[in-house]
């Protein structure tokens, strides 16, 4: 997907007092008022909040709420920390491809390409990833991440 923003910058703001344009569900800050802090975030050196599923993982997400300059740019990022044998259960991203980069641990990752005429012929693309390995998951494919190891595992995902 190629994005062509209506303007170079559309830094998100919470209300319309400082805004001139409404784009992508957010009011945009006047571009003359944008600054470097709108394009900066910290805190990805630590785990995120544990998920309520008890599947043994936490996510520290970077999105427009933490970095207003991401608005309309079509990209975000997350740090996922998996406990030993932790599972990010099957899920999809209907509007985004996901790129995974393993920082530590051993992570099994896979996605399924369905065969709509014969589900038994659907294809599984899977790999065991180690630190420094990357894997891409095409848009809208059902996929999982699983920590195969006995130590914690961490990966970064961009969407």
Q: Residue 123 half-sphere exposure, CB side, CA atoms within 13 Å?
A: 2
Which residues, including other chains, have CB under 8 Å from residue 2's CB and lie 6 or more apart?
A: none
Is 130 annotated for ligand binding?
no
Q: What does the CA dihedral 149, 152, 93, 44 come to, rounded to 10 degrees?
A: -150
Is 98 annotated for ligand binding?
yes
- Give the C-alpha distances (Å, rounded to integers) separating 49 from 34, 81, 98: 29, 10, 21
Residue that is written with structure tokens 């995120």 in the block? 48
Is 155 annotated for ligand binding?
no
Is 91 annotated for ligand binding?
yes
d(CA 91, CA 143): 6
Query: Binding site for oxalate: residue ranges?
Result: 93, 98
Query: Binding site: residue ranges?
Result: 91, 93, 98, 143
Query: Binding site for Mn(2+): residue ranges?
Result: 91, 93, 98, 143
């Amino acid at each position: 997907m190629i994005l062509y923003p209506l303007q170079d910058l559309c830094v998100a703001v919470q209300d319309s007092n400082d805004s001139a344009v409404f784009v992508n569900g957010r009011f945009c800050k006047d571009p003359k008022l944008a600054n470097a802090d709108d394009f900066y975030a910290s805190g990805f050196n630590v785990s995120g909040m544990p998920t309520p599923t008890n599947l043994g993982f936490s996510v520290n997400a970077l999105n427009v709420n933490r970095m207003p300059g991401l608005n309309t740019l079509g990209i975000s990022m997350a740090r996922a920390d998996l406990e030993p044998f932790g599972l990010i259960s099957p899920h999809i991203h209907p509007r985004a491809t996901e790129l995974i980069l393993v920082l530590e641990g051993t992570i099994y990752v896979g996605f399924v390409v369905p065969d709509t005429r014969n589900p038994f012929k659907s294809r599984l693309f899977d790999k065991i990833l180690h630190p420094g390995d990357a894997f891409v998951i095409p848009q809208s494919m059902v996929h999982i991440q699983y920590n195969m190891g006995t130590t914690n595992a961490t990966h970064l995902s961009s969407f």
